[in-house]
Chain A
Amino acid sequence: MDTILVGFAVFLLLGSAAALAMRNLLSAVITVGLVGMGLSILFLLLGAPDIAITQVVVEVIVVTVMIRVTTRTADEERGRPRSLVAVVAGVGAVLVLVGAALAAFASLPAFGASRAVPADWYLAHAEPATGATNVVTAILLDFRGYDTLGEVTVILAAIAGALVIARHIAGDGTRDAGGEPDRAPQTRNGEEAPHA
């Protein structure tokens, strides 16, 4: 089991490095998708099916959107070849950080051996207190419902802001997103709308 986990972790690291090294934008996006799918399998192996499901669906939608956005620019190579100094400095920084992390991990309890006290309380009380056998849902929506309310508010604010900006700069181009524009595009700062 440990071997499989380490194998997946190495695969993810290599995939991330490859995504960074790719000069073609579309290839980089596909590699990122590969890393995300590997990550979801890793979550599944670690016994977190909730996170695995969310990871899969988020990965699917993100990769779809990124491919949709980058198809047009896929032919363009990005960046320049890195200089040797930058590569050496980067690898050196990574080695230092890995060494520090290994030293820190050595003082941690064994993997999966300990849980914090609140975790035990949640595991014992989730089903009798809320009726939910899925402890993650019990925590997200009941014990920690206020956090989820905040999260809902954040998403609402973000999407509302994006739609307002889209409506503002698009003028007559918003037929497909967020309903009909009901105002003239130039409303703020007297700034010219792109299509005006």
Chain B
Amino acid sequence: MREDGDGLSVIVQVVTRWILVLIVVYGLAVASFGHLTPGGGFAGGVVIACGFVLATLAFGGRSGPARAFHRRVAQLEAAGALAFLGVAALGWTLGHFMQAWMPRGSGLTLASAPFLVLLNLAILLKVGAGLFAGFMVLVLFDRLTDAPREGEGGA
């Protein structure tokens, strides 16, 4: 693994570009259908965070498909939390906080529990961006401790 943000070889980068799309779609699917099948916002969010970690490892963080994600990760994370709170607060329109306010369709589809779908997607955003932010913070600390300084063991 080369340092200085160069990333891995071209082969890895090209394949990562293809696979990243599938990973993101898979994460979205796991989260969207979390009320019908195993999975949910947390699992989907971790899948997407894994995808962007892969992109960061392949491209080195200074370029590549995860670049735009890097810059906005804190905002996305806050947006996820606020979306969860907003969806929950809209329950007040029907009575109380956290009430399932969206009309429910029938059958085993996305419409069978739209309230849960929205909450799952909010958690997806929050966990995906949050875990990725955690990864970036770890890498950042790693780089900082790696810088030549006296009295530091680079742990």
Contacts and interface: CB of A to CB of B under 8 A. Distances in A.
Interface residues of B, number: 65
A60 B35 contact: no
Contact of A133 (B36, B100, B126, B137): B36
A183 B111 CA distance: 46
Interface size range of chain A in the complex: 35 or more
Given A49-B38, A149-B98, A178-B133, A141 B81 contact: no
A124 interface: no
Interface in B22-77: 30, 34-40, 42-43, 46-47, 49-50, 53, 57, 61-62, 70-75, 77
Contacts of A61: 46, 49-50, 53, 131, 135
A194 interface: yes
Name the prevailing secondary structure of the B interface residues.
Answer: helix
Contacts of B141: 166
A195 B146 CA distance: 12
Contact of B72 (A138, A149, A174, A179): A179
B48 to A, nearest CB: 10
Contact of A163 (B40, B74, B127, B142): B74
Given A57-B50, A134-B40, A162 B72 contact: no
A24 interface: no
Interface of B: 1, 30, 34-40, 42-43, 46-47, 49-50, 53, 57, 61-62, 70-75, 77-78, 80-81, 84-85, 88, 98, 100, 104, 108, 112-113, 115-116, 119-120, 122-123, 126-127, 130-131, 133-144, 146-147, 149, 154-155
5 contacts: A152-B85, A153-B81, A170-B144, A176-B62, A177-B140
